[in-house]
Amino acid sequence: MPRPQATALLFLVFLPFEAMAEGTAATDGCWMHLFSRPQYHGTLETYSGPTYGSFALRGKGSLLLGPRAQLQAYADADRRRPRLMLEPGTRIADLPAAGLQNHARSFELSCQAPRS
């Protein structure tokens, strides 16, 4: 007697990057996504603004900023030496190729007013 064949269905759902943020950051556009690999692949870290903290771009592959998120990166952990400012909506698909991996030890993610 033949054995029944098991059938598996796989559903893929593709969401825009903006939909990957959680909570109010997703609805108000104030977020930052850091991916471990270039081209927005690998492990995802999400920061909801406004916030600040320590981080290193070293070891990160790509970055996305929400439409209201502005990123100020600092060369020191105390946020006293500004190094880099990224405007809302910035997308950097390959941080190593852009030469940005060694630019920051701390950051401030601020939220810009919505455009009317």
Q: Kindly state whether residue 5 falls inside one of the protein's structural domains.
A: no
Q: Kindly state whether residue 40 falls inside one of the protein's structural domains.
A: yes
pLDDT for residue 23 is more than 50? no
Residue 27 is predicted with a pLDDT of 61
Residue 2 is predicted with a pLDDT of 66
Q: Kindly state whether residue 101 falls inside one of the protein's structural domains.
A: no
Q: Kindly state whether residue 83 falls inside one of the protein's structural domains.
A: yes
24-74 residue pLDDT tens: 445 689 999 999 999 999 999 999 999 988 876 778 899 999 999 999 988
Measure the CA–CA gap between 63 and 95, rounded to whole angstroms.
Answer: 7
Q: Kindly state whether residue 106 falls inside one of the protein's structural domains.
A: no
3-19 residue pLDDT tens: 666 554 444 434 444 44
Q: Kindly state whether residue 108 falls inside one of the protein's structural domains.
A: no
| Residue numbers of the domain that contains 47 | 25-95
How many structural domains comprise the chain?
Answer: 1
Q: Kindly state whether residue 90 falls inside one of the protein's structural domains.
A: yes
CATH number at residue 90: 2.60.20.10
Contact between 61 and 38 under an 8 Å Cβ cutoff? The reply is yes
Read out DSSP for the chain? -PPPPP----------GGGGS-HHHHHHT-EEEEEEEGGGEEEEEEEESSEEEE---TT--EEEE-TTEEEEEESSTTS-SEEEEE-TT-EES-HHHHT-TTS-SEEEEEEPPPP-
